[in-house]
Amino acid sequence: MNRAAEVLGFLRGRRDHVSGAFMASRLNITRTAVWKVLKQLEQMGYTFERLKGRGYRLTGSPDRLYPWEVGRHLDTKFVGRELIYRDSVDSTNGVAFELALAGCAEGTCVVAEAQSAGRGRLQRTWHSPYGKNLYLSCVLRPALHPSEVHPLTFISSLAVYDTLASEGLEPRLKWPNDVLIDGRKVSGTLIELSCEADRVRFVVIGIGLNVNMADMNAEIADKATSLLIVSRKPFERTRICGMLLGNLERYYEMVRSQGVGRVCRSWEERAGIRGAYMEITQMGRTYRGVSEGIDSDGAVLLREKGAVTRVIAGDVST
């Protein structure tokens, strides 16, 4: 598909038409080959104006997360440099996991327009309608002990947080990895990993971000929101995706250079969690208390009747 990206590169941002002969000579291919690429692009949703004797002009681009479109907004060293695009998958985490098992490079990402079996935390499903949101999974190979992996969940929620804040929105972090706006969930992360007894082989960080979804199904209507709903305008998903990947790489570099404890501190500060009263339900048991912050492995420290309990997983209700 590089050829298509090259042809688009010639046409994008030009008011004038570009001749097939010019593109063919620059790409060192025949005019028929250029024409075939243009046909392929039309099938993908791009539109062109063709004027006899003058050539082609790009008149429209589809709202699709094609790698070369996300790539226009990508300023990373390795995260998303290999970007696998799928129209529809069961789960981008599943695809990324298979790629990781097959030895793909660190930073390889999978994006899809829809998921038929999007996975959420605690065996929940992630509502994944076509062409509206971001469903993204990234393969990382951190040099961590399995017990240190949990805080990696914070790098994605921090990355989402910064992306939304730079769009002028006011996100809020909810432990362990939700991002909310106006009290409703806009993004979540599901981490899946493969490890040996004392070494992580790889981690798949799966991020769901509701971008342009206007209608929520009844099950999530009172709990979820999207960027479109809160700001009453659509967002360019390719740009949001590029920014998000940039922020993800930045926080991952923080883990690599300063350790997981550093990212826990950043998350704790952004979430403003210290001193907050919390109720966390974990496997049927509810812990209540005042938070003393986040431990270096990502657990919440809850002061309950004088004693401090570490809660490593669960759902926060308050």
Residue 137 binding ligand BTN, by CB under 6 A: yes
9 versus 120: smaller Cβ distance to ligand BTN: 120
Which residue lies nearer to ligand BTN by CB, 17 or 127? Answer: 127
By the rule CB under 6 A, 210 interacts with ligand BTN: no
Our finding on whether 120 is near ligand BTN (CB under 6 A) is: yes
Q: Is 253 exposed, middle or buried (0-12, 13-18, 19+ CB in 10 A)?
A: middle
Query: Does the footprint of ligand BTN cover residue 107 (CB under 6 A)?
Result: no
Whichever of 190 and 240 has its CB closer to ligand BTN, that residue is 190
115 binds ligand BTN (CB under 6 A): yes
Q: Which is nearer to ligand BTN, 34 or 95 (CB)?
A: 95
Instruction: Give the Å distances, CA to CA, from 161 to 101, 168, 186, 304.
Output: 30, 11, 10, 29
Q: How far is the CB of 43 from ligand BTN (least distance, A)?
A: 26
241 burial type by CB count under 10 A (0-12 exposed, 13-18 middle, 19+ buried): buried
Return the DSSP state at 299: P
Q: Least CB distance from residue 172 to ligand BTN, whole Å?
A: 14
Phi, psi of 6 (to 5 degrees): -65, -45
Does 118 engage in binding with ligand BTN (CB under 6 A)? yes
How many Å separate Cα 210 from the centre of its chain? 10
Cβ proximity to ligand BTN: between 10 and 135 the closer is 135
Binding mask 177-196 for ligand BTN (x = CB under 6 A): -x---------xxx------
121 binds ligand BTN, rule: CB under 6 A: yes
Q: Given the complex with ligand BTN, which of 163 and 189 has the nearer CB atom?
A: 189
Match 């974990």 to its residue by tokens: 282
**Per CB under 6 A, 156 contacts ligand BTN:** no
Give Cβ neighbours of residue 139 (< 8 Å, ≥ 6 apart): 96, 99, 100, 104, 105, 106, 107, 108, 109, 202, 203, 204
Instruction: Kindly tell me which of 48 and 126 has the beta carbon lying closer to ligand BTN.
Output: 126
**Relative orientation angle of helices 152-166 and 237-258, to the nearest 10 degrees:** 140
Residue number, 220 or 228, with CB nearest to ligand BTN = 220
Residue of minimal CB distance from ligand BTN? 188
Tell me the two tokens of residue 30: 């025949």
Q: Is 208 in the site for ligand BTN (CB under 6 A)?
A: yes
Instruction: Tell me which residues in 73-102 interact with ligand BTN (CB under 6 A).
Output: 91-93
Strand partners, 307: 304
Q: Are 90 and 115 in contact (CB under 8 A)?
A: yes
Q: Output the smallest distance, CB 93 to ligand BTN, in A.
A: 4
- The pair phi, psi for residue 212, each rounded to 5°, is -110, 20
Q: Rounded to an integer, what distance in angstroms lies between the CA atom of residue 276 and that of residue 87?
A: 42
Q: Name the minimum Å distance from CB 135 to ligand BTN.
A: 4
Q: Is 176 in the site for ligand BTN (CB under 6 A)?
A: no
232 CB burial (10 A radius; 0-12, 13-18, 19+) = exposed
Task: Write out the residues near ligand BTN by the rule CB under 6 A.
Answer: 91-93, 115, 118-121, 124, 126, 135-137, 178, 188-190, 206-208
